[in-house]
Amino acid sequence: NLTTPGRENLKAVGNANFGYFAGGQDSPATYRSDVDRIDYSSDTSTALDKGPLTGNRAEHSATGNQNFGYFAGGLPGVGSKIERIDYSDDTVTALSKGFISTPSRIRLAATGNANFGYIGGGDPGLSIVDRIDYSNDTATASPKGPLSAGKSYLSATGNQNFGYWMGGSPNASTIDRLDYSN
């Protein structure tokens, strides 16, 4: 169970040991900054409340590596801001980091590998893919190759070599693949 019941439009990220659920909203006008952590070794217990995001956000994206989780975009009014949670000290407030290249992006999706996070799509009908360099995460994310078309409400996944974005609005049935090496 989440510590704040009834949340929607939240995002999740994690590593080999823990999963983190952040942000969301519990009514159309009430956005949240809560971060809840589940422990994979004890996945029957209630999630633990951890350090919050710096502000409320929903309809954002999340990606990360073994050490950090990144949250980017979203409502209300945080559309280009990136925040980072440190898994080794997850009781403190998330840190503000760089920005994604396009302001006011919502309903986007992210994936990544050990070194970079890739954030793609989003409203209003964007095909942009931005890359966060985890070794320099205070810089503005750099635009990379675009998706095949503008999409929002999409999903993403990937591995060490490729990122995949699928579905989305308007009625997208395509799967886009980004080769991290190019």
Spatial distance between the Cα atoms of 93 and 11, rounded to a whole number of angstroms:
17
Spatial distance between the Cα atoms of 133 and 58, rounded to a whole number of angstroms:
23
Q: In the prediction, which pLDDT does 44 show?
A: 75
Q: Tell me which residues of the chain have a pLDDT lower than 70.
A: none
24 and 12 Cβ atoms separated by less than 8 Å: no
Which residue type does 68 have? Answer: F
Q: What is the pTM of this model?
A: 0.94
Tokens of 126: 């964007």
79 and 103 Cβ atoms separated by less than 8 Å: yes
Q: In the prediction, which pLDDT does 106 show?
A: 93
Q: In the prediction, which pLDDT does 4 show?
A: 72
Spatial distance between the Cα atoms of 180 and 182, rounded to a whole number of angstroms:
5
Q: In the prediction, which pLDDT does 152 show?
A: 95
